[in-house]
Structure 1
């Protein structure tokens, strides 16, 4: 089985992970109102609602990258900040990521749209216990659009299902598995950007997991 090698800086030193499975948890809002809000956001751009919540989409591990530059086909994709769990032989780590997705393809197949674009992860991570109360951690994304920075997303982990519930709902995470765990509402509607800065911040001590990447749009030809 092929593996994607990811490397993280952690408080305990560098960690290298051979990733063999990538899972994107979708529709992970903790309450019905939050889920309905996200469904409405996507409905505005033609994306049908889910058959059940949450849903677990599998993606090729080759889609996982730790880069500050991505290339996408056409101008219909966008990212979204997410907590990301990385399962290793020595335990779980938390990092920040972006579930970059082709929104045009998403209108006819969410599963296919997940495979169309890279899943961008940061290069720093914290060890994490799913038994800890993580609700106060803050997710934030800032988009650069036509040269101007705009607030794009902000919200706490309290807006999404507890990560333990997501992992249990999937049946657990074996070592070598990466799970993207869902997002928080977008300010001003889902839209493409030229650059996306994403972060997870712990307000208790001010430490953060941060990453940013530029989006290069390639032409669609036929």
Structure 2
């Protein structure tokens, strides 16, 4: 099992062991836009989901707080997301943090669920209690930057209003009996800017709160694995 630690704004450190890791997919607030996106991906060879929004179980050890992601080839990339962390049994134990879902794009054309299990979900080391930001959740911002060596070119920018809200996913977890300590769920992502190369050597994602000026960040470098023998 994977232990994660999150520092809250009051300096408290919350530790949880990941027992269930889930990736939301096709999770835009507008499902009409999602269906259009599914058709676009189908033209690129990515299999369409049987229903949307989708939810993909991921091996728990892939939830990581790391500064380096190892990649087997050049066609992997991240995605700016928020993550819901169930750190206890009380409502105040639901944490919101920033995340980057690194995905094997070459494998994605064979199965999205497979591609999600081929690379880590990188989570930030700081978090907010969901109850503290729930009343302004749609105003929170998601921004991602990429680059060959330094993540300084913007590739994603939007607000959480573009995605299904945490309360939706809390309901899904309750229905499935998964709203329990050790569950981590990533939100799905917002659109990428079309002219920016996502296959970058560095990724950085920020979850911002305009009302307070606060922000949660995560960043990592992508390093190629050595070439295989055989």
TM-score by length of 2: 0.88
Contact 2:18 2:63 in 1 (8 A): no
- Residues 1:186 and 1:36: Cα distance change in structure 2 (over 3 Å): farther
Task: State the shift of 1:34 in Å.
Answer: 3.2
Q: How does 1:162-177 map to 2 (within 5 A)?
A: 162-170=165-173, 171=175, 173-177=179-183
Structure 2: distance between partners of 1:122 and 1:131: 19
Q: SS state of the match for residue 138, structure 2? A: coil
Structure 1: distance between partners of 2:149 and 2:124: 24
Between Structure 1 and Structure 2, the one with more helix by share is 2
Q: In the alignment, what sits opposite 1:19?
A: 18
Task: State the shift of 1:36 in Å.
Answer: 3.8
Is it true that 1:118 corresponds to 2:116 in the alignment?
A: no
Structure 1: distance between partners of 2:225 and 2:189: 26
Contact 1:101 1:113 in 2 (8 A): yes
Contact 1:140 1:198 in 2 (8 A): yes
Q: SS state of the match for residue 203, structure 2? A: strand
Structure 1: distance between partners of 2:40 and 2:223: 24
Task: State the shift of 1:19 in Å.
Answer: 1.3
Number of aligned pairs?
Answer: 220
Q: In the alignment, what sits opposite 2:188?
A: 182
TM-score by length of 1: 0.91
Contact 1:38 1:185 in 2 (8 A): no
Contact 2:143 2:158 in 1 (8 A): yes
Contact 1:94 1:128 in 2 (8 A): yes
Q: In the alignment, what sits opposite 2:50?
A: 51
Q: In the alignment, what sits opposite 1:160?
A: 163
Q: In the alignment, what sits opposite 2:138?
A: 135
Q: In the alignment, what sits opposite 1:60?
A: 59
Is it true that 1:10 corresponds to 2:8 in the alignment?
A: yes
- Residues 1:200 and 1:136: Cα distance change in structure 2 (over 3 Å): same
Q: SS state of the match for residue 193, structure 1? A: coil
Q: SS state of the match for residue 135, structure 2? A: coil
Summarize deviations over 1:124-161 as a string: whole Å, max 9, x none: 00111385340010000001136673211010000011
Task: State the shift of 1:219 in Å.
Answer: 4.3
Structure 1: distance between partners of 2:194 and 2:43: 12
Task: State the shift of 1:29 in Å.
Answer: 0.5
Between Structure 1 and Structure 2, the one with more strand by share is 1
Structure 1: distance between partners of 2:150 and 2:39: 28
Is it true that 1:209 corresponds to 2:207 in the alignment?
A: no
- Residues 1:206 and 1:147: Cα distance change in structure 2 (over 3 Å): closer
CA RMSD of aligned residues (A): 2.0
- Residues 1:152 and 1:41: Cα distance change in structure 2 (over 3 Å): farther
Task: State the shift of 1:38 in Å.
Answer: 3.8
Task: State the shift of 1:42 in Å.
Answer: 3.5
